[in-house]
Structure 1
Amino acid sequence: MKRSGPLTPPKAPASGAAARPRPAFPARLDTSAPTPVNRPGAAPAATTRRVAAPVAVTSGIGMDSLAVRQSMVRKLQAQDISHPAVLAAMLAVERHRFVDTALAPQAYEDTSLPIGLGQTISKPSVVARMLELLCHGKSEKLGRVLDIGTGCGYQAAVLSHLAREVYSIERLKGLHEKARDNLRAFRLANVHLLFGDGMLGYPQGAPYAGIVAAAGGNDVPQAWIEQLAVGGRLVAPAVTGAGQQHLVVMEKTSQGVTRSVLEPVLFVPLKSGIA
């Protein structure tokens, strides 16, 4: 994949936050910048790869069949997923292209699947649920969104249909490279893949209209909250007072941050550093 040159500044996020210049690509985290609150040390270098307009939805036979994805979407609707844009995005993205060939027959079942390095691709229902929470109350596309934990790249691909711009960061080099390879055929101009410590977020792209995480820690990192735009939403798993992971939704307003704890979930642990 070729590295792209500098990009033009993006539009302001849909949340109404003030526009900020987008960093040129390829980018590196500035190790001389002030450290985030409650996070000692400087952010490690992050490289980014840009992966240009979405290709048309395939409607062949077998796993490529539109009917297979339609069946998956009907099951999502039966589980009370109703946001039209989220359902359309889940329909558009071919999930079987993000798992190993041997697992492709299970790609449209509501199950998590291994993607290597001890990580998994989340269930379609979990991805749809989190993105519906992220888009809650909004009929238009989100502005800039930060995706923590790229994994195989599936959620970033779905987000590309819901946001004007997606920054997706992965701490495991092997998965960062796998996501790059998986997304190459989709040619998504609005998706930027970053290799770096997701716990620190990506301050160069902030503020974000939305932040979503595919790994859960003991709490939501302060850096993420700081990088969320006023009017923005953050959706992530986190361990609550009962010692169990729950889905947490945080909204930032001009008066402060509200926090809602929803249903129990089971995600891989959130870790710092790169590997």
Structure 2
Amino acid sequence: MNQGEPGQDDDPAGDPAERKMRFLFALRSRGVTDARVLTAMERVDRGLFVKGVFAARAYEDMPLPIACGQTISQPSVVGLMTQALNISPRDTVLEVGTGSGYQAAILSELARRVYTVDRYRRLTHEAAELFRQMKLNNITTITADGSHGLPDQAPFDRILVTAAAEDPPGPLLAQLKPGGIMVLPVGQSDAVQSLIKVTRTERGFDYEELRPVRFVPLVEGLGSE
């Protein structure tokens, strides 16, 4: 649900092969270099997750509005966050903030199992239906307060948070396996945020700042829609 800078692709229509080539080139030029991540993003059609008047802009490297006042993240930021997780094929991943479902679909190409949580029932229902149509059978979609994680399914090898908190939420840190990685935006306002990589070690947690970002805030409780 990132709100980053606009992309440069000003011809979203046209030949699908050329469009895909431009899409992947934009990802690489912005630092997404992991071959597995690029392959996953090539397989998952972002156009399936963008509806209405913004559908024609689905292949630009920019965030776009979706229902419930949320956004579908800028593809290059999706790629960089996924790359930072360093997912292995045996990993179980928790995503906090389902949104359109685009990020979870990419995670499903890389991990053994994905649990994705959102506070808006409308978003989880629409995403779950898309996953069913795409035959992505390793995603479990749940309507819940994601700031508390999923204690019944914990611990997780990887955790991805697609909304910004002032600090990494304690319940999510507690649900991370030793050696596990969590990637999330952290910041006290929607104008000043940093993407953080947290690695759980035997001694505690190591923190690495990756880049400036801009995400919607992480809100406790369930949404009204």
TM-score normalised by the chain length of structure 2: 0.88
Query: Is 1:95 aligned to residue 46 of structure 2?
Result: yes
Q: Please state whether the residue corresponding to 2:66 is helix, strand or coil.
A: strand
Alignment partners' CA distance in 1, 2:108 and 2:17: 19
What residue is the counterpart of 1:159 in the other structure? Answer: 107
How many residue pairs get matched? 210
What residue is the counterpart of 1:38 in the other structure? Answer: none
Alignment partners' CA distance in 2, 1:174 and 1:225: 27
What does 1:32-51 correspond to in 2, within 5 Å?
A: none
Q: Please state whether the residue corresponding to 2:167 is helix, strand or coil.
A: coil
What residue is the counterpart of 2:176 in the other structure? Answer: 228
Query: Deviation per CA, 1:248-272, whole angstroms, max 9, x where unpaired?
Result: 1100011211111221110000000
Alignment partners' CA distance in 2, 1:233 and 1:121: 23
Runs of 5+ consecutive residues of structure 1 not aligned to the other structure: 1-61
What residue is the counterpart of 1:251 in the other structure? Answer: 199
Provide the alpha-carbon RMSD of the alignment: 1.8
Following TM superposition, the consecutive aligned residue runs of length 4 or more in structure 1 with deviations greater than 4 angstroms are none
Alignment partners' CA distance in 2, 1:101 and 1:239: 31
- Specify which of 168, 190, 211 is matched with residue 159 of structure 2: 211
Alignment partners' CA distance in 1, 2:52 and 2:219: 28
What residue is the counterpart of 2:214 in the other structure? Answer: 266
Structure 1 residues 175 and 160, CA gap change in structure 2 (3 angstroms): same
Structure 1 residues 71 and 202, CA gap change in structure 2 (3 angstroms): same
Alignment partners' CA distance in 2, 1:100 and 1:132: 26
Q: Please state whether the residue corresponding to 1:117 is helix, strand or coil.
A: helix
- Specify which of 48, 57, 75 is matched with residue 124 of structure 1: 75
Alignment partners' CA distance in 1, 2:14 and 2:140: 27
Alignment partners' CA distance in 2, 1:212 and 1:271: 15
What residue is the counterpart of 2:139 in the other structure? Answer: 191
How far is 1:180 from its partner? Answer: 1.8
What residue is the counterpart of 1:114 in the other structure? Answer: 65
How far is 1:216 from its partner? Answer: 0.3
How far is 1:162 from its partner? Answer: 1.0
Alignment partners' CA distance in 2, 1:205 and 1:66: 40
Query: Deviation per CA, 1:128-175, whole angstroms, max 9, x where unpaired?
Result: 00000001xx6x425100000000111010000111100000101121
Q: Please state whether the residue corresponding to 1:249 is helix, strand or coil.
A: strand
What residue is the counterpart of 2:127 in the other structure? Answer: 179
Structure 1 residues 113 and 229, CA gap change in structure 2 (3 angstroms): same
Q: Please state whether the residue corresponding to 2:159 is helix, strand or coil.
A: strand
Which AA in structure 1 matches 2:165? G
Please identify which structure carries the higher helix content. 2
TM-score normalised by the chain length of structure 1: 0.73
Alignment partners' CA distance in 2, 1:214 and 1:141: 21
How far is 1:101 from its partner? Answer: 3.6
Alignment partners' CA distance in 1, 2:212 and 2:68: 24
Alignment partners' CA distance in 2, 1:202 and 1:149: 13
